[in-house]
Amino acid sequence: MCCAAAVDNILKALDNGDIALVTLLDLSVAFDTVDDVILLKRWVISYGLNGHALSWFESYLTGRKQCVRYRNSRSLSTMILCGVPQGSVPGILLYTADLLRLVDSHQLHPHHNVDVTQIYGFSDR
């Protein structure tokens, strides 16, 4: 459901005298804290990913290094132990998929993009 539709539904609930609850989850830091091993296991367990596809994702996530460059200087390279590349849509969406299923199981309504999740629901008085 798009954001405008969510706002419309909330406003209609309030107009009817119902209670509306909205929770905003900012997952932007999640890019830096995703555990690669857990993410790969979740892809296997939750989505049945295996074989070449799993190997491709594993090579994408593991063995990465980073360094800092400033003008003509460069730091030593350091292994990245957790996190997915910034903007990695598959990483975050698949990592948070169980959250969206949990929200749905409680008859709440999620609106999700790469790093922000809005959860809303209604209750009559």
pLDDT digits (tens, 9 = 90+) for 35-73: 888 888 888 888 888 999 999 888 888 888 989 999 999
3-state helix, strand, coil in the chain (%, to 5): 45, 20, 35
The Cα–Cα gap between 43 and 95 comes to 8
What is the structure's pLDDT at 93?
A: 65
pLDDT digits (tens, 9 = 90+) for 3-27: 677 788 888 888 888 888 888 888 7
- pTM for the predicted model, two decimal places: 0.57
Neighbours of 106 (CB within 10 A): 8
Same domain, 50 and 13: no
Same domain, 41 and 10: no
Contact between 98 and 43 under an 8 Å Cβ cutoff? The reply is: no
Domains contained in the chain, number: 2
- Identify which of 34, 41, 27 has the alpha carbon closest to the alpha carbon of residue 85: 34
Same domain, 38 and 87: yes
User: What residue numbers bound the domain in which 13 lies?
Assistant: 1-26+109-125
What is the structure's pLDDT at 114?
A: 64
